[in-house]
């Protein structure tokens, strides 16, 4: 899925099609092709791919869900409720989190709202006790986003897809999970983030607004000729595939700015307005250099 993971969705479809042309017997095992077709907007072809897959793998819950997603986007179906009438029959998933996801998409037993609330609680949990918990947060967020997408609720879909790729699972232990690539591609294909050369660089963009808020506070304090305190915030992830697995927080990023401002307040009379400009330049340089160093 390297082409898909790099947001080269159409190219990935060409690769899968060439594999099928060489050996048609492999088509039922190319579930990744269905994901590519979905994000290429070829929903009928995607539904056909997942239907073919389930014929040889009748216990794959996720194939059933993606089949429903494709159907819900087709003009002659048009909604998740109508797509449910054509659901594929599969076995039960052994993963508790996927049992909930399956229940949500199928709308079983008139408990759809209750199931939705349960998944929201998992997705928005503030901490994880173990790797399984981190994975649960990711999958709950991912499939909540897709569920809302099937309901044409772009705001909630964006919110939970963004949450999915910010989980610890997506940033570390689950980085090789193909579904993490799906989340990153979804953010880019839906226009919720920039198209970057490194998929992991999307983390920098997702933290941009938080970074901007801190910077604005700094500039206001600097312009008031006063020292300031940079609040400790959640880790700012620049590029998780960096060999050093680099992480920093806002205090570290703006440490040089803090030092410069403290120096300015101690030498205010001697420096005047020119020092304000100097400190602002330092801030801009720190941000630009750090971004280029760890994104590319």
Per-residue pLDDT of 226-239, as tens digits, reads: 444 333 333 333 33
With a cut of 60, say whether residue 220 has pLDDT above it.
Answer: no
Closest to 175 (Cα-Cα) out of 17, 4, 42, 5 = 5
Q: Which domain holds residue 281?
A: 206-295
Per-residue pLDDT of 127-170, as tens digits, reads: 655 556 779 999 999 999 999 999 999 999 999 999 999 999 99
Domain endpoint, select from 194, 224, 246: 194
Give domain status of residue 126, yes or no. Answer: yes
With a cut of 50, say whether residue 48 has pLDDT above it.
Answer: yes
More confident residue, 147 or 111: 147
Please check whether residues 66 and 12 belong to one and the same domain.
Answer: yes
Give domain status of residue 199, yes or no. Answer: no
Please check whether residues 168 and 249 belong to one and the same domain.
Answer: no
In the block, which residue shows the tokens 């909540």? Answer: 144
């Amino acid at each position: 899925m390297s082409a898909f993971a790099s947001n080269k969705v159409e190219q990935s479809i060409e690769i899968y099609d060439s594999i099928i042309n060489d050996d048609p017997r492999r088509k039922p095992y190319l579930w990744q092709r269905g994901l590519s077709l979905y994000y290429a907007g070829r929903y009928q072809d995607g539904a056909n791919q997942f239907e073919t897959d389930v014929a040889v793998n009748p216990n794959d819950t996720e194939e059933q869900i993606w089949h429903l997603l494709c159907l819900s986007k087709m003009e002659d179906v048009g909604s998740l409720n109508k797509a449910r009438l054509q659901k594929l029959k599969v076995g039960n998933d052994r993963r508790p989190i996927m049992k909930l996801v399956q229940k949500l998409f199928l709308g079983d037993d008139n408990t759809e709202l209750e199931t939705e609330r349960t998944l929201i609680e998992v997705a928005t949990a503030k901490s994880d006790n173990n790797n399984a918990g981190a994975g649960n947060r990711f999958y709950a967020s991912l499939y909540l986003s897709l569920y809302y997408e099937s309901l044409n609720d772009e705001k909630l879909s964006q919110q939970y897809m963004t949450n999915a790729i910010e989980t610890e699972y997506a940033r570390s232990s689950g980085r090789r999970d193909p579904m993490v690539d799906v989340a990153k591609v979804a953010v880019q294909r839906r226009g919720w983030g920039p198209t970057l050369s490194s998929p992991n660089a999307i983390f920098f963009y997702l933290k941009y607004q938080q970074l901007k808020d801190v910077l604005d506070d700094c500039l206001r304090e600097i312009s008031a000729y006063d020292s300031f305190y940079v609040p400790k915030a959640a880790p700012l992830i620049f590029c998780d595939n960096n060999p050093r697995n680099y992480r920093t927080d806002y205090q570290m990023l703006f440490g040089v700015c803090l030092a410069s401002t403290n120096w300015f307040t101690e030498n205010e009379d001697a420096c005047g307005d020119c020092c304000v400009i100097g400190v602002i330049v330092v801030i801009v340089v720190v941000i630009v250099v750090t971004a280029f160093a760890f994104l590319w």
